[in-house]
Amino acid sequence: MKVSYYPGCSLEGSARDYRESVEGVCKRLGIELVELEDWNCCGATAAHSLRHRASIELPGRNLVLAENAGNDLVAPCPMCFNRLKAAEKSLLKAPTGQYRYNIEGKIKIWDLADFMARQEVLELIQPNVTNPLEGIKAVCYYGCMTSRPPKITDAENCENPMSMDLILEGLGAEAIDWPYKTDCCGASHVIDRPDMVFKMVGRLYQRALEVGANCIVVSCQMCQANLDIYQDRIGQQLGREFYLPVIYFTELVGLAMKERQVATWLSRHFVDPLKLLGDQGLLG
């Protein structure tokens, strides 16, 4: 299986753990990720907040690159995915000449979690699960951008996505249903309004614990950073101590397949997942 791959800017920096686990797991499964040649930033929230035209043309350029490459396009970052989809919808309906780029709409843009939750990929994973994840009680936290708005994302069930839940069940982990799957973490406000993000993330922790989770599983590096990096400080503000490792679903796929590099990926987190996984006997 061969697809075009758009890692996005944060996977080149702070989300190195996500990138390594995505690439490690796909390699193991025989999914060939061909990085788009000379891709550019999608513009993220900054572009759609301040420069509507650029918010279509920045991802638009990447879509042209992807159409030229010819394969379907996979984006691990939900923000990039959302912007690519927004550009796709706009460019396809815009009259010629309105934007700098034209596309034909001949390739499919995939959110990585949706891509991997297809039967076809689940069947690739299944025979490799030599370390079933018993004892992992996870809430899957999808965040906003792979779901909303469904007119852009084409999400099947934007209020109750299931891709990571399905993948986790196949790994032998328990995926606990909870109502905050797609609630917002505050995203980039962590830089300019950390007070808002701390409040929003604190609610997520409390609900995750109420439903009996021992970790939170994510597919978004923005969510991962907001839930992982500041857990101590949010705990201090709420007057309680949290221990909720925030793990990428790809890291769990790797763990269940006993990928050798898993401990390296996980050691890049702030809230140490190795303690939880060791206690559950999953590191042996």
Binding residues for other proteins, rule: CB under 8 A, are 9-10, 12-17, 38-41, 43-54, 57-58, 61, 90, 100, 144-145, 147-150, 158, 183-184, 186-189, 191-193, 195-196, 199-200, 229, 267-270
Rounded to a whole number of angstroms, the minimum distance from the CB of residue 134 to other proteins is: 28
| Residue 224 host element (H or E) | helix 221-228
Q: What are phi and psi of 248, to 5 degrees?
A: -70, 140
55 or 131: CB nearest other proteins:
55
Q: What are phi and psi of 174, to 5 degrees?
A: -95, 120
Which residues lie closer than 8 Å to 194 by C-beta, 6 or more apart?
A: 230
Rounded to a whole number of angstroms, the minimum distance from the CB of residue 122 to other proteins is: 28
Identify which of 76, 81, 83, 78 has the alpha carbon closest to the alpha carbon of residue 48. 83
52 or 118: CB nearest other proteins:
52
143 or 170: CB nearest other proteins:
143
CA gap 53, 182 in Å, rounded:
28
Q: What are phi and psi of 215, to 5 degrees?
A: -165, 165
CA gap 117, 114 in Å, rounded:
5
16 or 137: CB nearest other proteins:
16
Identify which of 199, 159, 203 has the alpha carbon closest to the alpha carbon of residue 181. 159
Cis geometry, peptide bond prior to residue 149 (ω within 30 degrees of 0): yes
Q: Name the residue type at position 189.
A: H
Rounded to a whole number of angstroms, the minimum distance from the CB of residue 170 to other proteins is: 29
Q: Name the residue type at position 14.
A: S
Rounded to a whole number of angstroms, the minimum distance from the CB of residue 210 to other proteins is: 18
| Structure-token pair, residue 248 | 């990428």
27 or 100: CB nearest other proteins:
100
100 or 240: CB nearest other proteins:
100
Rounded to a whole number of angstroms, the minimum distance from the CB of residue 163 to other proteins is: 18
> Counting beta carbons within 10 angstroms of the beta carbon of residue 212, is it exposed (0 to 12), middle (13 to 18) or buried (19 or more)?
exposed
100 or 275: CB nearest other proteins:
100
Reduced to 3 states (helix: H, G, I; strand: E, B; else coil), residue 33 is strand
Rounded to a whole number of angstroms, the minimum distance from the CB of residue 204 to other proteins is: 11
Rounded to a whole number of angstroms, the minimum distance from the CB of residue 94 to other proteins is: 10
